[in-house]
Structure 1
Amino acid sequence: MKHWIAVLAVATAMLAPLAGAQAQPKGQRPTIILVHGAFAESGSWNGVIELLRRDGYTVIAVSNPLRGVASDAASVAGVVNAVKTPVVLVGHSYGGPVIGEAAAHASNVKALVYVAAFAGDVGESAFALTGKFPGATLGAALAPPVVLPDGTKDLYIEQDKFAKQFAADVPAAPAALMAATQRPVAEAALNERALTASWKTIPSWFIYGSADLNIPPAAHAFMAKRAGARKTIVIPGASHVVMTSNPKAVAALIEAAAIAP
């Protein structure tokens, strides 16, 4: 509890100017908060951000620490609570469990959008959900773990395997940049079990690609159906980074969630 209070207090203080801006008339429509997943970073949302801003939405792409579901969710919840409008909380990949936990600690989340993301139930981890269905090839694409001074391990995708595994439908040049700028995820984070399943009480939307090699499409379909998603979109041939390769479809779904009652 002390950890949550400390993180929320710091984030609220840092974002006070932003929160004040949201109180202006222009900010009465929902704010879109985007949470990237493992092996990605906030720039993976750039195409989506451009479209949402063009349509008049305020967008925040947070930096997900990728250290653990509960601690990462505390950081995201701090941002959400500093915003004085309703929020559409959007998560990619491992960002799914993070938004699910963060939403439980904020009262202004009106919708959850899962973009090629895990939507775990209480007690489920990202690795456990992936293993339930055939088709994931991430394990073979990982580099040897990087052991940190505290003994924890960071995971990266081998750069020469990144494009095929993670971003097969992204042009070669930007895919190579994504490989070089990928953010590592703590191995423990992918094994951390969810404490909350906010999709049980908050309306959800899902979008994913039929050629996702990180999370099997069958797993996506299972999670969307279980969550009672208001809408599920499958992009034929899209990779795990569907928000990068198909920003129009992702932005359109986010806007549908924003205007839904």
Structure 2
Amino acid sequence: MQFIGKGTAMNGRPNVVLVHGAWADGSSWRDVVERLQADGYHVTAPQFPLTSTADNVARLRQVLNMQDGPTIVAGHSYGGHIMSALGNDAPNVIGLVYVAAHALDQGESLDALLSQEPPPPALAHLYTDEQGFVWQSQDDYVHHFAAAIDSVRAKSMYAAQQPIAGAALAEPMGVPAWRSLPSWYLIATRDEALPPDAQRTFAGRMGATTTEVPASHVAILSHPDEVAQLIQTAAETRTAMPAGKATG
């Protein structure tokens, strides 16, 4: 994505930065981007390398540095891991929105989380290439990961999937950003990649403002109205309250 100058909050609204997950890219946010832009938000949905936590966070910081003013960061799936890894150093970030996203606590890793139970259907047949990157099979992607969206679009997403480095899954989380920033969480109740009960656990322990939708893992595609609305709610709430961690 090309930048010309800094992104500036529009009409007094915060900027919005969207973080994609593994096996996807920034275009997965397209429908949400269009809705937020139509409502006057300045939105950025960059590409992340998915090579390591450090590389991913460096890209997020690069994009955040291009924002002029307060910013809401929203992450889907592994994107929640990336934005959590901002830690306590997230200038201008005023709120976090998790969409069927990982929200690990300090010392936890995705590998450890995934090893606790049999893999969910969407992750049952992952395979690793010679360079150590993890890919999804087409059947699992279309019928489980991207369930509830048109199969033609799901196959197109599968063809463009961005694999994640296996080593990144083993990296432990530092102090997560959600410990110092107010958070919102959209739980996808028909998720076959990140179990809904795990999502509820994440949301509960971070004290997130939570909503549930009958969506598969790719709620950003099947329920873009609800996702955009939650991001707008976070933005409107944060413009009406002091910076810092929400209470209550």
Task: Determine which of 19, 24, 30 is the counterpart of 1:35.
Answer: 19
Deviations 1:122-159 (A, max 9, x none): 111123234446672344232x31112xxxx1111111
Instruction: Give the equivalent residue in structure 1 for 2:220.
Output: 243
Structure 1, unaligned runs of 5 or more:
1-10
Instruction: Give the equivalent residue in structure 1 for 2:8.
Output: 22
Instruction: Give the equivalent residue in structure 2 for 1:7.
Output: none
Instruction: Output the CA distance in 2 between the equivalents of 1:134 and 1:207.
Output: 24
Give the root-mean-square deviation of aligned CA atoms: 1.9
SS of structure 1 residue aligned to 2:120:
coil
Q: Any conservation in 2 of the 1:33–1:60 contact (CA below 8 Å)?
A: yes
> Is 1:223 equivalent to 2:207 in the alignment?
no
Instruction: Output the CA distance in 1 between the equivalents of 2:175 and 2:5.
Output: 28
Instruction: Give the equivalent residue in structure 2 for 1:256.
Output: 233
So what's the TM-score if we normalise by structure 2?
0.90
> Is 1:113 equivalent to 2:90 in the alignment?
no
Q: Any conservation in 2 of the 1:31–1:86 contact (CA below 8 Å)?
A: yes
Q: Any conservation in 1 of the 2:53–2:168 contact (CA below 8 Å)?
A: yes
Instruction: Output the CA distance in 2 between the equivalents of 1:239 and 1:18.
Output: 37
Q: Any conservation in 2 of the 1:38–1:183 contact (CA below 8 Å)?
A: yes
> Is 1:62 equivalent to 2:40 in the alignment?
no
Aligned pairs for 1:60-99 within 5 A? 60-99=44-83
Instruction: Give the equivalent residue in structure 1 for 2:245.
Output: none
> Is 1:178 equivalent to 2:157 in the alignment?
yes
Question: How many percent identity over aligned positions?
Answer: 39
So what's the TM-score if we normalise by structure 1?
0.86
SS of structure 2 residue aligned to 1:199:
helix
Partner amino acid for 1:248?
Answer: D
CA gap of 1:135–1:225, structure 2 versus 1, over 3 A, is: farther
Deviation (angstroms), 1:52: 0.2
Bigger helix fraction: 1
Q: Any conservation in 2 of the 1:208–1:240 contact (CA below 8 Å)?
A: no
Deviations 1:5-24 (A, max 9, x none): xxxxxx9xx85x331x517x
> Is 1:167 equivalent to 2:146 in the alignment?
yes
Instruction: Output the CA distance in 2 between the equivalents of 1:185 and 1:177.
Output: 18
Q: Any conservation in 2 of the 1:22–1:28 contact (CA below 8 Å)?
A: no
